[in-house]
Amino acid sequence: MKIAVAMSGGVDSSTAAALLREAGHEVIGFTMQLWDQRRNLVLDENGEPLPSRCCSLDDVYDARRVAQQLGFPFYVLNLERDFERAVVQPFVQSYLSGETPIPCVACNSRLKFASLDRLAQSLGCERVATGHYARVVRDDETGRYKLFRGRDRRKDQSYFLWELTQEQLARAMFPLGELTKEEVRAAARRLGLSVAEKAESQEICFVPDGDYAGFIDRYLEAEGERRPPAGEIVSTSGEVLGTHKGIHNYTVGQRRGLGIAHGRPLYVVAIDAERNRVIVGEDEELLSREFSAAGVNWIAFDQPTAPVRAEVRVRYRHEAAPATIETTGEGRARVRFDEPQRAITPGQATVFYRGDEVLGGGWIVRVKR
């Protein structure tokens, strides 16, 4: 089988490519050039550019070296324009709207399994493989493709893949889905890959220092737009407690950096972009049972006509909790937890599970308090 492999230059995607090659498949490696690091440059304390985990020359070199070592073709795709339009601009606008976005979902569904897949098909590739820790299985009875968590729960990345369509899942391959991280590194060592001990990155790839607000400030300045203005920090009862530095500097659940003197700890409980306000409250005010989701994509079945019981996650590190999901229109749903959950945040992805199976997911748009 001829397979296109998305290669970031890290140990996971490199090992995925190597395992497919070892299994006898015809592999073509692709590294996607997504972001020009000369834009929005971040400097360290010595005035030197901060190393990035997105499209750095070192990563491209590492991916190319693995392809050369294993003897398969390798190409670098310039998808910077697509990435900015589909990922970076929505990321910036989401923060400016008082949300906390998660760009990795859009990157997977709209670039790796859309833009890359189209090119791969033009080269005769039957599948697109990545280094995600997830599993896809075809249900022989229904013909439907189903998505499951990776066997390694600590590394499971199914949360980032809920937006994939049936057509995309039909062509997706996740060679690491049945492996643990330790087994992947062991395989990389066995295969003699130069990246076997390469460290991982935990930040959003195009924000190497983790300073999302700083990235947005620099992006807006480069685009000739002004930074978001300061505004009021208010209590849930409407009392003005202080001044914020622009709503993009804050997210639900945040405690540090509020600059407010108060008898008890205060947290951001909501952001009112229309009134340019950051709303704060005590810890218990972060709890809520219900939220609305938009852009809902069902994977396990077509849009349900009856309420669905599931375990629901509201952010990547959230422990899935029992809830009832009701559709409220095309691509929309209302989710109600059995027990209140902390810091449900507009802009984040919500993913619905039944055991290890991903039933679907959506974007959190409104939280009922």
Shared domain check, 260 and 172: no
Considering 166, 190, 214, which residue would you say is the last residue of a domain? 190
Whether 88 is covered by a domain: the verdict is yes
Whether 40 is covered by a domain: the verdict is yes
Shared domain check, 53 and 87: yes
d(CA 87, CA 93): 10
Shared domain check, 239 and 319: no
Whether 199 is covered by a domain: the verdict is no
Whether 214 is covered by a domain: the verdict is no
pLDDT of residue 38: 63
CATH label of the domain that carries residue 175: 3.40.50.620
Contact between residue 211 and residue 183 where contact means Cβ atoms under 8 Å apart: no
Whether 176 is covered by a domain: the verdict is yes
CATH label of the domain that carries residue 260: 2.30.30.280
Shared domain check, 246 and 108: no
d(CA 21, CA 2): 10
Shared domain check, 124 and 15: yes
Considering 164, 190, 216, which residue would you say is the last residue of a domain? 190
Whether 234 is covered by a domain: the verdict is yes
CATH label of the domain that carries residue 349: 2.40.30.10
Contact between residue 131 and residue 108 where contact means Cβ atoms under 8 Å apart: no
Give the residue numbers spanning the domain of 346. Answer: 287-368
Whether 200 is covered by a domain: the verdict is no
Instruction: Give how many domains the chain has, as a whole number.
Output: 3
Q: Is the dihedral of CA 285, 249, 313, 203 positive or negative?
A: negative
The neighbour count for residue 137, using CB atoms within 10 Å, is 13
Catalytic residue of the set 54, 55, 107, 125: 107
Catalytic (active site) residue 107: yes
Shared domain check, 307 and 249: no
Catalytic residue of the set 54, 55, 125, 205: 205
Shared domain check, 302 and 271: no
For residue 25, give the nearest of 62, 71, 83 by alpha carbon: 71
SS3 labels along 62-124: HHHHHHHHHCCCEEEEECHHHHHHHHHHHHHHHHHCCCCCCCHHHHHHHHHHHHHHHHHHHCC
Shared domain check, 184 and 133: yes
Of the chain, the end-to-end C-alpha distance in Å amounts to: 52
On the 0-12 / 13-18 / 19+ scale of CB atoms within 10 A, 90 is middle
Shared domain check, 352 and 267: no
List per-block mean pLDDT (blocks of 10 residues) for the chain, which spans 369 residues. 95 97 97 77 55 69 95 94 93 96 91 88 94 96 96 95 96 97 97 92 77 93 92 96 96 93 91 97 96 97 94 96 96 98 97 98 95
Whether 202 is covered by a domain: the verdict is no
pLDDT of residue 42: 56
pLDDT of residue 276: 97
**Joined tokens for residue 7:** 């290669």
Shared domain check, 46 and 119: yes
Shared domain check, 57 and 153: yes
- DSSP for 151-191, written as a single string: S-TTT--GGGGTT--HHHHHHEE-TTTT--HHHHHHHHHHT
Considering 243, 266, 281, which residue would you say is the last residue of a domain? 281
pLDDT of residue 262: 81
Shared domain check, 255 and 304: no
What is the CA angle 35-40-45, rounded to 5?
Answer: 120
d(CA 50, CA 209): 7
Scan for tokens 């190409």, then name that residue.
75
